[in-house]
C-alpha cells in the first residue's frame, strides 16, 4: 500500500504555519514564489474542476471552502474530493497534463458531461486574496485558503448545451464579465455573448 505524501495532505487540510516575523515581513511570500513558477511555465489560468450543478452557486458566491458552504433548503452542492476540501481549494495549472484529474475522474466514475472547467485569472485572484497560498510541486496544484471570488473567474467551459444556455443567460442578465465556452471532443468553442443558440 502506498504511503500518503504527508506534506501534500497537510496543504489540503490547513494553511502552512508562519512565524510572527514572516507574517509581518513576508505575508504573501509563497504567493510570490508561485508567481515566479507561473511566469516560467507560461501559465495563463488556474483551473478548477467541478460538477455542472455547482456553477450557478459559484457564479453567485465564488468558489467557497466546504466549511463555508451555506445552502438553502432546496440547494445542492456536489463536492468532488479532487480539489475541494474543508479548509482549502485546489487550483491546477493550465499547462499541466491534467493526468491527476482525469485519473481521479476515471476512478471516481465521474460522467465527463458533468464536468465544468473554471478558468481563474491568477493576478485577479492574488489582488483579491487576503491569505497566502501554498503550492504542491508534485501535482502542480495551488492551494487557496479562502473563497475564490467570482471576479477572479475568467471563463467557464461546459460540455452540456442545456447548461451552457442557462449559465450564459445568467451571466448576461447579471452583467458578469465571464466568458462561457462549450467544450466538445477536446475543443473549446467560445459562446458569443447575447447570441441565441
Comparing 78 with 120, which gets the higher pLDDT? 120
Cβ-contact 125, 46 below 8 angstroms:
yes
Residue-wise pLDDT for 23-32, tens only, equals 555 578 899 9
Asked if the model's pLDDT at residue 7 lies above 60, the reply is no
Give per-residue pLDDT as tens, 133-189. 999 988 889 999 999 999 999 999 998 888 999 999 999 999 999 999 888 655 444
CATH number corresponding to 28-190 = 3.90.210
The length of the chain in residues reads: 197
* Dihedral angle computed from the Cα positions of residues 67, 70, 76 and 78, in that order, rounded to the nearest 10 degrees: -20
Helices (H), 41-185: 55-61, 99-107, 122-128, 161-173
Amino acid at each position: 500500500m502506498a504511503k500518503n505524501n504527508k506534506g501534500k495532505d497537510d496543504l489540503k487540510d490547513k494553511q502552512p504555519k508562519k512565524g510572527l516575523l514572516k507574517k509581518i515581513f513576508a505575508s504573501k511570500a509563497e504567493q510570490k514564489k508561485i508567481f515566479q513558477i507561473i511566469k516560467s511555465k507560461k501559465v495563463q489560468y488556474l483551473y478548477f474542476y467541478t460538477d455542472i450543478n455547482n456553477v450557478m452557486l459559484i457564479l453567485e458566491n465564488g468558489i467557497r471552502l466546504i466549511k463555508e458552504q451555506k445552502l438553502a433548503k432546496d440547494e445542492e452542492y456536489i463536492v468532488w474530493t479532487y480539489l475541494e476540501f474543508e479548509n482549502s481549494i485546489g487550483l491546477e495549472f493550465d499547462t499541466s497534463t491534467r493526468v491527476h484529474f482525469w485519473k481521479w475522474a476515471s476512478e471516481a466514475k465521474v460522467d465527463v458531461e458533468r464536468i465544468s472547467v473554471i478558468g481563474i485569472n491568477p493576478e485577479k485572484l492574488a489582488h483579491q486574496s487576503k491569505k497566502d497560498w501554498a503550492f504542491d510541486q508534485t501535482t502542480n496544484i495551488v492551494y487557496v485558503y479562502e473563497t475564490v471570488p467570482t471576479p477572479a473567474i475568467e471563463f467557464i467551459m461546459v460540455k452540456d448545451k442545456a447548461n451552457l444556455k442557462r449559465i450564459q443567460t445568467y451571466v448576461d442578465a447579471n452583467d458578469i464579465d465571464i466568458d462561457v465556452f462549450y467544450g466538445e471532443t477536446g475543443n473549446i468553442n467560445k459562446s458569443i455573448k447575447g447570441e441565441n443558440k
